[in-house]
Amino acid sequence: MSDFYLLWRNLFRRKLRTFLMMLAIFVAFVIYGVLGSINYAFEHGVDQVADNRLVVSNKITFIQPLPFAYVGKIQALKGVKTVTYASWFGGYVKEPRDQVGTFAVDPESYMQVYRDDLRIAPAERDSFIHDRTTMMVGEAVATKYGWKVGDRIPINSNIFTNKTNGTHAWELTVAGIAHPAKESVGTSFILFHHENFNESKTFGKDTVGWIVLETESAAVNDKVAAAVDEMFANSTSETNTQSEKAFGKAFFAQFGNIALIITLVVGAAFATILMIVGNTMVMAVRERTKEIAVLKTLGFPSWRIWRQVLGESLLLALLGGLPGLGVAAVLVTLMSKALSGALPGLFVSLPVVGLGIVFMLLLGFITGFLPARAALRLNIVTALGRL
């Protein structure tokens, strides 16, 4: 009779109790898999940006604009290779709740800076650059709305008014569709001409939301960032220059500390499961006190009994946790499709799976250690006399 057979039989001696414990563990790892994947998508997407890109924003807050004149001054600094800029438009297609990340940009410089992130057909790129009434649409947006090149679409703003027609809409023609060149690049965006935007908006003329600059190499980032901020020190619009990675994390911080929220939710779930499973395992071993004493009397080594009890706890954690991660993978896949690429890299990645398995083993070890220790130290005479 193998140790695994004994382990399996003991674990499923009380089937209902075992299945309830497995269900609790299953739910905990579904929560972990989904939330962990979302956090990984945020962190991984930000960390994959080019390391020689800096973002210049207003020192007070990045939602405050900067004077357009800053663009030329920054371009003249030593160590700066290319400069582009963008402004947040607050765009939506039909209803305000139907938000789309819409940015007014300088087409030529913007696509030069992000040349390694996006794949755009040369003819579509040229059309976008030379026609200020056009827009470049990300693949995810084009797929979601069924847009194609040549379609004329009204894009609405929940911030700005178009003084040429007195509405919140700008009618733009789809010049091209931008495809991701990397897995971590999102394509849930619309780009249109900043020149068109600047001339037609009713306020904030000759300002930009933020400035993106490409340095000659990452080695000069700190020097360039210091030079930019020093240039505009004590001005009416002081600047804060940081890496694009840091800027991206600050942007996502608007939605709250995602990592902290996930840690608290998953931590609470695991703490609850730890108490439930740990207490149940102690009860299960106490029920088998006489059997353990008999096994020791028959010559079973204490370490073998210890291994059996601890093995039950580890097997229980794996039987509940692995299906939980599997269901989480299905849910995350459905979420990714529903978001239409708004959060690139949203899937149950190997790091999430690997950490999940580590958590399962830790859960199994922690909940099984005390019962296994009690079985290891069990005195045969005392146990048989008690029962």
Q: Which two tokens stand for residue 119?
A: 């794949």
Whole-angstrom distance, CA of residue 199 vs CA of residue 164: 9
| 345 close to 45: Cβ distance less than 8 angstroms | yes
Taking only the tens place, the pLDDT of each residue in 260-302 is 677 777 778 777 777 777 777 777 666 666 666 566 666 666 6
In this predicted structure, the answer to whether residue 386 has a pLDDT above a threshold of 90 is: no
pTM as predicted: 0.69
Whole-angstrom distance, CA of residue 234 vs CA of residue 58: 12
Out of 17-31, 109-123, 325-339, give the one with best mean pLDDT: 109-123
Return mean pLDDT, the chain.
84
Whole-angstrom distance, CA of residue 216 vs CA of residue 212: 13
Please give the pLDDT value at position 88: 92
In this predicted structure, the answer to whether residue 99 has a pLDDT above a threshold of 70 is: yes
- The vertex-221 CA angle with 215 and 225, nearest 5°, equals 100
Q: Which residue has the higher pLDDT, 301 or 159?
A: 159
Please give the pLDDT value at position 240: 93
Which CA distances in Å does 249 have to 46, 122, 169, 259?
A: 7, 32, 30, 11
What's the gap between Cα 165 and its chain centre? Answer: 40
Query: CA quadruple 64, 65, 71, 72: dihedral positive or negative?
Result: negative
Please give the pLDDT value at position 214: 93
Q: Kind of pairing, strands 134-138 and 169-180?
A: parallel
Domain extent listing, the chain: 3-45+257-386, 65-236
Please give the pLDDT value at position 302: 64
For residue 342, the surrounding DSSP H or E stretch is none
Whole-angstrom distance, CA of residue 313 vs CA of residue 105: 57
Taking only the tens place, the pLDDT of each residue in 296-354 is 666 666 666 777 778 888 888 899 999 999 999 999 888 877 665 556 667 788 888 99
Please give the pLDDT value at position 198: 95
pLDDT tier, 107 (very low <50, low <70, confident <90, very high otherwise): very high
In this predicted structure, the answer to whether residue 213 has a pLDDT above a threshold of 80 is: yes
Whole-angstrom distance, CA of residue 258 vs CA of residue 237: 30
Length of the chain: 387
The CB-side HSE value for 179 (13 A sphere, CA atoms) comes to: 6
In this predicted structure, the answer to whether residue 378 has a pLDDT above a threshold of 70 is: no
Please give the pLDDT value at position 56: 95
